[in-house]
Amino acid sequence: MFVFRESFSGRKDNPFKHEEFPDKTGHPVSLGEAARLKERTLNFWRKWISKCHYTGRWREIVHRSALALKLLIFEPTGAILAAPTCSLPEYVGGTRNWDYRFMWIRDSSFTLYALLKLGFTEEARAFMDFIIDRCNELEGDFGKLQIMYSIHGHANLDEIVLDHWEGYKGSSPVRIGNGAFHQLQLDIYGELMDTIYLADKYSRPVSYEIWIMLRKLVDWVCDNWNQKDEGIWEVRGGRQHFTYSKVLLWVAIDRGIRLAEKRSLPADIHRWRTIRDEICEFIHSRCWNSKRNCFMQVMRNAEDDHNPSTLDASVLIMPLMLFSSPVDPKILSTIEQICKPVREGGLMSNSLVYRYDVNQTDDGVSGEEGTFSICTFWLAEAMARAGSFEHKYLEQARWTFEQMIGYANHVGLFSEEIGLTGEALGNFPQAFSHLSLISAAIAINRGYDRRNHHD
pLDDT tens profile 365-387: 988 999 999 999 999 999 999 99
Cα 61 from chain centre: 19
Nearest by Cα to 393 from 454, 331, 308: 331
| DSSP symbol at 57 | T
Q: Please tell me the predicted confidence (pLDDT) of residue 424.
A: 96
Instruction: Name beta bridge partners: 86.
Output: 99
> What phi, psi does 449 have (nearest 5°)?
-65, -45
Q: Please tell me the predicted confidence (pLDDT) of residue 26.
A: 67
Q: Averaged over 147-167, what is the pLDDT?
A: 96
Q: Please tell me the predicted confidence (pLDDT) of residue 142.
A: 85
Can you count the helices (H) and strands (E) in the chain? 13, 13
Q: Averaged over 403-430, what is the pLDDT?
A: 96
Single-letter residue type at 153: G
Q: CA-to-CA distance for 121 and 51, rounded, in angstroms?
A: 10
Cis bond leading into 28, ω under 30°? Answer: no
Q: Using alpha carbons, list the distances in angstroms from residue 33 to 29, 38, 392.
A: 6, 9, 56
Q: Using pLDDT thresholds of 50, 70 and 90, give the confidence band for residue 143.
A: confident
Domains in the chain and their CATH numbers? 57-454 (1.50.10.10)
Helix axes 31-49, 59-71, angle to 10 degrees: 110
Q: CA-to-CA distance for 416 and 40, rounded, in angstroms?
A: 32
Nearest by Cα to 8 from 115, 113, 157, 135: 135
Read out DSSP for 102-131? SEEHHHHHHHHHHHHHHT--HHHHHHHHHH
Instruction: Name beta bridge partners: 148.
Output: 104
Q: Averaged over 208-228, what is the pLDDT?
A: 95
Q: Averaged over 187-205, what is the pLDDT?
A: 93
Is 435's pLDDT higher than 80? yes
Q: Is 308 helix (H, G, I), strand (E, B) or coil?
A: coil
Q: CA-to-CA distance for 25 and 357, rounded, in angstroms?
A: 54
Q: Please tell me the predicted confidence (pLDDT) of residue 303.
A: 53
Q: Using pLDDT thresholds of 50, 70 and 90, give the confidence band for residue 91.
A: very high
Q: Please tell me the predicted confidence (pLDDT) of residue 367.
A: 87
Q: Using pLDDT thresholds of 50, 70 and 90, give the confidence band for residue 5.
A: very low
Per-residue pLDDT of 177-192, as tens digits, reads 999 999 999 999 999 9
Q: Averaged over 325-346, what is the pLDDT?
A: 96
What is the per-residue burial (b if ≥16 Cβ within 10 Å, else e) of 397-415? bbebbeebbebbeeebbbb
Contact 313, 326 (CB under 8 A): no
Q: Using pLDDT thresholds of 50, 70 and 90, give the confidence band for residue 3.
A: very low
Q: CA-to-CA distance for 148 and 103, rounded, in angstroms?
A: 5
Q: Please tell me the predicted confidence (pLDDT) of residue 455.
A: 61
| DSSP symbol at 233 | T
Highest-pLDDT range among 5-19, 40-54, 350-364? 40-54
Nearest by Cα to 206 from 321, 215, 107: 215
Nearest by Cα to 316 from 229, 232, 249, 380: 380
Contact 447, 399 (CB under 8 A): no
Per-residue pLDDT of 15-64, as tens digits, reads 445 444 555 566 788 899 999 999 999 999 999 999 999 999 999 999 99
Instruction: Name beta bridge partners: 288.
Output: 295
Instruction: Name beta bridge partners: 73.
Output: 80
Alpha-carbon torsion (94, 95, 96, 102), positive or negative: positive
